[in-house]
Amino acid sequence: MKRIYLYIIVALSSLVATAQNSDLSERFNPEIYGVTSLAIAPDARAGAMGDMGVATDADANSQYWNCAKYPWNIARAGIGGSYTPWLRKITTGINLANLSGFYRIGDYSAVSGSLRYFGMGEVTTTEGDYSFSPYEMALDVAYSRMLSQTFSMGVAMRFILSNMNYDPTQEASTGKAFAADISMYRQGYFMAGNRECSLSWGLSLSNIGTKINMGNSTHAEFLPATMRLGINMTVPVNEYNRFSFGAEVYKLCIPTKPVQGEGEAAEDYERRLEEDYYSVSSIEGIFKSFGDAPDGFKEEMQELRWSFGAEYTYNDRVMLRAGYHYENPHKGNRQYFTVGAGLRMSVFTVDAAYCIATAQGNPLDQTMRFTLGFDLDGMRDLFGQGR
């Protein structure tokens, strides 16, 4: 049983990590948004590479990162399931489950979909007279197509539910929203000596959609609209060994909440907050987010998050991975190393990732992720051979 203050910690955990080492004279001003689980990377492969996935090779879990990668899959169809026990240093019972799948249509197109469920356990009010089980859920479908031998694009549509109502005296209100992703991916090859290397880049704009009203709030909240840009290079050493190196930068495309100026009256600040923040539409907010930081260009640059990752593959069977994720201390302070491994067989792939926080007090420290993937072509061949 968890009390209501714990729920507040969980709801904000993917936004705000502890900033105990920050200079108190400097403002801690992260972006605020609803449905925080949409910003949590679900799969262990990307999680082991510093939460980087927009430009890596295609797999069954590409839906979250870049659905335009799906036509590049070697398999005709695949399914991936991920499980993350979340915030284990703080509490138990909070989990993220994600299921993704795809099917290639011919040689140039693919359809895909995913379902994610973020359960926050059972929460009890401080009086102990009422308990509830908040959750967030998202269901989406996507279509992607290769437009040339080296370039593809994709679009996804998403339906979102957020059940955060905890007041027994009021009628339950489940937040609902719709969103879309637009993504692109390019992969080409070049020669480095006698080695044929691949170089790819990816770009995605995700969670472009309506605002969402959480419970009985008087103001609707922004979804975590996110722009990602990444690059990835794969270098084969020989027939059995290859290395991949990548980097990714992303920005939350939502307005920064204005801060109250020195000497500004409370009623004037509330009026400005209503006009410049709460009344801004989600689409207007995307454009506004590139130039509305209170401290100007310096703070806009602080809103960029960075990920770096590497992967070693032996004989297409065994994978070792490592990465690093950086977020400015004034925008959340999520800074951590990641490590992980994977094992690929003819029918399934299993991946695991582990997070090691470098910022003191980071609640993401020691977070584990697990992913199990199935190659439906491999399963069909396996059962076919058994007949």
CATH number at residue 259: 2.40.160.40
pLDDT band for position 93 (cuts 50, 70, 90): confident
Give the pLDDT confidence of 326-372 residue by residue, as tens digits.
Answer: 999 888 888 999 999 999 988 889 999 999 999 876 777 888 899 99
Round to whole Å and give the CA distance between 224 and 31.
9
Give the pLDDT confidence of 226-277 residue by residue, as tens digits.
Answer: 999 999 999 999 989 999 999 999 999 999 888 877 788 888 888 888 888 8
Question: Mean pLDDT across the chain, nearest whole number?
Answer: 85
Dihedral sign computed on CA atoms, order 292, 295, 301, 302: negative
- Mean local confidence (pLDDT), 220-224: 91
Round to whole Å and give the CA distance between 87 and 102.
30
pLDDT of residue 79: 94
The answer to whether the predicted template modeling score (pTM) of the entire model surpasses 0.95 is no
CA distances from 81 to 26, 91, 148, 348, 372 (A): 42, 23, 30, 11, 5
What is the domain extent for residue 192?
2-386
pLDDT of residue 322: 97
Task: Count how many domains the chain has.
Answer: 1
pLDDT band for position 386 (cuts 50, 70, 90): very low
